[in-house]
């Protein structure tokens, strides 16, 4: 089973994981790891290592990060660089991506990553009420 670390700035990651579990149910081998206001990239790398250790055995791991280039991304990138054949990283975390990740957690990392990128993009949609006819069609 693919282990997942949901991570980002502040309490966002705990909240989004809680929301996903309300919809999907309790997740296995999934942890929210947050970056506190006074923490560094090095602190976060250590938090990730503790999380990975607590989910053992872990054969493959995916980081779902809130923002490309932020401290949580930079810390995750350091961990992924140590084992790129079994660790992956996707930035731009949103609820559709996380729910889909929980749904396909039994799949190999090489299939999960491109699927989640598509799922996340598909979750961004615009309701354009001005495009509808006056009679509701």
Q: What sign does the dihedral 75-65-106-48 (CA atoms) show? A: positive
Measured CA to CA, the distance from residue 135 to residue 115 in angstroms comes to 38
The answer to whether 91 and 121 are in contact (CB under 8 A) is no
Q: What are phi and psi of 123, to 5 degrees?
A: -80, -10
Active site residue 47: no
Q: Smallest Cα–Cα separation from 8: which of 90, 88, 113?
A: 90
CB 60 within 8 A of CB 108: yes
Helix axes 109-122, 95-103, angle to 10 degrees: 150
Q: From the candidates 9, 47, 115, 126, give the one annotated as an active-site residue.
A: 9
**Tokens 């810390």 sit on residue:** 75
**Catalytic machinery residues:** 9
């Amino acid at each position: 089973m693919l282990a997942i670390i949901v991570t980002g700035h502040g309490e966002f990651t705990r909240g989004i994981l809680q929301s996903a579990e309300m919809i999907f149910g309790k997740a296995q081998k999934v942890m929210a790891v947050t970056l506190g206001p006074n923490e560094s990239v090095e602190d976060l790398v250590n938090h990730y290592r503790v999380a990975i250790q607590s989910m053992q055995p872990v054969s493959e791991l995916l980081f779902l990060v809130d923002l490309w280039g932020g401290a949580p991304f930079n810390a995750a990138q350091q961990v992924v660089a140590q084992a790129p054949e079994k660790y992956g990283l996707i930035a731009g975390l949103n609820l559709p991506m996380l729910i889909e990740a929980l749904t396909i957690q039994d799949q190999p990392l090489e299939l999960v990553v491109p699927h989640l990128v598509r799922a996340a993009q598909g979750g961004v949609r615009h309701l354009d009420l001005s495009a509808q006819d006056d009679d509701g069609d």
